[in-house]
Structure 1
Amino acid sequence: MGAVGDAWTWLTTGANWQGESGVWHRLAEHLWFSGVCLAVSCLIALPLALWLGHIGRGGSLAVNISNIGRAVPTLAVLVLLTLTPLGRQGGLPTIIALVLFAVPPLLTNAYVGMREVDRSVVEAARGMGMSGGQLFLRVELPLAYPMVMTGLRSATVQVIATATLAAMAGEGGLGRIITAGFNRNDTAQVVAGALVVGALALLAEGLLVVAGRAFDPMRATREH
């Protein structure tokens, strides 16, 4: 039947979806980890990036520092954090590692989006008497919105895919299905777990694309 066919059989077996080791429970854990990490990452990266983009100073340094996180393997960070006292704090090492991984695309895209706003438009808004806050909310942020959403989509997909590493630290999530499959030498379970993670990432990407278009403050302008 092949690996994919065997994985489909595994996924369509009801018993594999039930209980604490079932897909539904692991999916809920995965969504919780991913949601918390994305929320924390957004709270850290977006205000900083938007503010630095607005004032036009310090952004390049912040982006370069955040991009260091991309050069450090997430698994290595997770393992090191697990070996510290933080390793006794539940899922904290996983959350920290994923936040470090998610901040760079959020910070970079939001900052670049702000800096790519047409300066002539900004100056025209200033000439109309807009304050700094009005300029940010009514001109810069709406024009930077597509880049901000691009960063959010990128970070979301990366976090959902990488959150499988939580299993390496003994935490839950869909990664536990994959590691359990490896431990049992069950290729069907490994492939099935990978398919669920991939489907979840694609679903999240699609939902964010739809949400991005629906909440675009300049949707009407962009469509003409």
Structure 2
Amino acid sequence: MAKQLDYHSIRAIFARFQAAEPEPKGELDHVNAYTLVVAVALSAQATDKGVNKATRGLFAVADTPQKMLDLGLDGVTEHIKTIGLYRQKAKNVIKMSQILVDDFGGEVPNSRAALQSLPGVGRKTANVVLNMWWGQPAQAVDTHIFRFGNRSGVAPGRDVDAVERAIEDHIPADFQLHAHHWMILHGRYICVARNPKCGVCLIRDLCLYEEKTL
């Protein structure tokens, strides 16, 4: 398994991320907590750009659970058919919306357990919503964070749960709120899967990755 960076190196890394992008934002379009939950759930095995393209029309007509139910399964399916696994995702959106109306008064809950009780919402989706909407320092580990955490030594782990724990254990508390956005953006645009852009990486000198590119 990848080596773990020391505390001072990790602090230096996140200080640089913060200086470069003080208020990092997620790239999924949304207008409220409900549309954020739907967008994140739809983003599984799909790109943010692809989801945004599909939800632009969807959220224009259905930005609450009740409006989504009024649109119906066929209507939701038609809007998101360009996204992978769209049929199952459409069913989940309808089921999720029904539960929110029936059990939560049409409001999105702000607890991880309640969020994870919704169809199509796993731990990662719940953590994204808790972080982006409720301002909680929850860490949603996706493929970009998993890759970056292990390569750099910031948060090594054999699986996503181990990486999540490593983030919580090793990243200083004052960087926890924005940590997952900084890591996602860095993994998406710099520390990419093939031919990482080490030559323009602002933490190149601190990273433990042994196969750095020029």
For the pair shown, which has the larger CA radius of gyration, 1 or 2?
1
TM-score, length of structure 2 as denominator length: 0.30
- Please identify which structure carries the higher helix content: 1
